[in-house]
């Protein structure tokens, strides 16, 4: 095969419950995640040796999850790593959208196809779980309920595609920090954290308390979105810093984004998309 492209879709957490901290240091969670149309792309080509390139230079090192996924694939299949991987980023970092995990899953899926290795979806999911808590979800390319530390994945059907507006400030939120603060902040009571019912889905995120306590601007973003007539629900995705709005039918997400930049921060990153 000369070359191929594998898409790495971002995700949003439609709900996220944190149940307890586990003895292994991870947290036991229950979450409903959905892939969205925002995506990175991974180009796979034949080469004389292994090469990895990324259009964001800071992500081009050997610690990138794409490189780790490739090493795992070649170790599993005993194939020579004669391939060039080129990652093109659209998903922002530190956003709670799963960009790095999705890139890793795309590498596993794409290399499996490129080399015709015929690893089963179940085997790919097992390999994915070794790379990170969310990678198993992305290996399956469908909405899913996830439990354990996120690696136990059960496919789920959404009632219909959701139209979303994603808003992210210039700063990111480290996932490990957000989870480390969960226990101390879990009893904070405020109407902004209450579950929202829209389109037969209950939107809630237990990490908002710990994140909003430090990053107050994210709470302001969510509150502002909930005041907009086009918005049916608003929630932080994962550990942030993206806040997404679920748009009502026929709403103009670009218009809401323009209003948000005027009212909140002219430097906000925005993206209008749908669940897949």
**Domain residue spans in the chain?**
3-155, 163-274
pLDDT (tens digit, 9 = 90+) per residue, 75-133? 999 999 999 999 999 999 999 999 999 999 999 999 999 999 999 999 999 999 999 88
Q: Which pair of tokens denotes residue 109?
A: 């899926």
Is 97:38 a contact under the CB 8 Å cutoff? yes
Burial class (CB in 10 A: 0-12, 13-18, 19+), 140: buried
pLDDT bin (cut points 50, 70, 90) of residue 1 is: low
Task: Tell me how far apart the alpha carbons of residues 178 and 229 are, in angstroms, rounded to a whole number.
Answer: 30
Catalytic site includes residue 134: yes
Least Cα distance to 79 among 105, 44, 53, 55 occurs for 44
Task: Tell me how far apart the alpha carbons of residues 91 and 40 are, in angstroms, rounded to a whole number.
Answer: 6
In this prediction, residue 173 carries a pLDDT of 95
C-alpha distances (whole Å) from 125 to each of 37, 89, 262 are 21, 23, 43
182 membership: H or E segment, kind and range? helix 182-185
In this prediction, residue 191 carries a pLDDT of 87
Dihedral sign from CA coordinates of 63, 66, 67, 73: positive
pLDDT (tens digit, 9 = 90+) per residue, 156-181? 999 889 999 999 999 999 999 999 98
Q: What is the mean pLDDT of the chain?
A: 94
First to last CA, the chain: 28
**pLDDT exceeding 70 applies to what percent of the chain?**
100
The CATH number of 3-155 is which of 3.40.50.11810, 3.40.50.1260, 3.30.230.10, 3.30.300.30?
3.30.230.10
Catalytic site includes residue 200: no
Is 38:133 a contact under the CB 8 Å cutoff? no
Q: Give ∠ CA 267-32-187 in degrees, rounded to 5.
A: 75
Residue 192 DSSP label: G
pLDDT bin (cut points 50, 70, 90) of residue 182 is: confident
Residue 186 confidence (pLDDT) above 80? no
Task: Tell me how far apart the alpha carbons of residues 8 and 99 are, in angstroms, rounded to a whole number.
Answer: 8
**φ, ψ of residue 136 in degrees (nearest 5):** -60, -40
Residue 275 DSSP label: B
Residue 204 confidence (pLDDT) above 70? yes
Task: Tell me how far apart the alpha carbons of residues 199 and 208 are, in angstroms, rounded to a whole number.
Answer: 21
pLDDT (tens digit, 9 = 90+) per residue, 5-49? 999 999 999 999 999 888 787 889 999 999 999 999 999 999 999
Task: Tell me how far apart the alpha carbons of residues 212 and 222 are, in angstroms, rounded to a whole number.
Answer: 10
Residues in the chain: 276
Q: Which pair of tokens denotes residue 188?
A: 């904070």
* Locus of tokens 């957000």: 178
Which residue in the list 40, 103, 134, 206 is annotated as catalytic?
A: 134
In this prediction, residue 137 carries a pLDDT of 95
Residue 185 confidence (pLDDT) above 80? no
C-alpha distances (whole Å) from 141 to each of 40, 109, 118, 204, 213 are 14, 10, 17, 23, 33
pLDDT (tens digit, 9 = 90+) per residue, 44-54? 999 999 999 99
Highest CATH level, class, for 163-274 = alpha beta
- Residue with more model confidence, 20 or 253: 253
């Amino acid at each position: 095969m000369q070359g191929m492209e594998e898409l790495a879709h971002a995700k949003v957490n439609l709900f996220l419950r944190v149940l307890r901290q586990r003895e292994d240091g991870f947290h036991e969670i229950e979450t409903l995640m959905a892939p969205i149309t925002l995506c990175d792309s991974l180009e796979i080509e034949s080469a004389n040796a292994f090469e990895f390139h990324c259009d964001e230079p800071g992500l081009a090192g050997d610690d990138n999850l794409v490189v780790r996924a490739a090493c795992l694939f070649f170790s599993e299949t005993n194939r020579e790593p004669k391939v060039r991987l080129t990652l093109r980023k659209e998903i922002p970092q530190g956003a709670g959208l799963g960009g790095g995990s999705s890139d890793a899953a795309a590498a596993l899926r794409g290399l499996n196809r490129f080399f015709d290795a015929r690893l089963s979806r179940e085997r790919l999911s097992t390999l994915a779980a070794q790379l990170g808590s969310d990678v198993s979800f992305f290996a399956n390319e469908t909405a899913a309920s996830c439990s354990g530390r996120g690696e136990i994945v059960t496919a789920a059907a959404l009632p219909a595609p959701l139209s979303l507006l994603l808003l992210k400030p210039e700063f990111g939120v480290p996932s490990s920090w957000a989870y480390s603060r969960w226990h101390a902040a879990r009893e904070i009571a405020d109407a902004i954290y209450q579950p929202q019912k829209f389109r037969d889905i209950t939107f809630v995120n237990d990490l908002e308390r710990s994140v909003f306590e430090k990053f107050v601007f994210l709470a302001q973003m969510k509150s502002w979105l909930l005041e907009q007539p086009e918005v049916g629900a608003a929630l932080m995705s994962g550990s942030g810093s993206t806040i997404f709005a679920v748009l009502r039918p026929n709403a103009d997400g670009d218009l809401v984004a323009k209003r948000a930049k005027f009212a909140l921060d002219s430097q906000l990153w925005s993206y209008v998309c749908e669940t897949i």
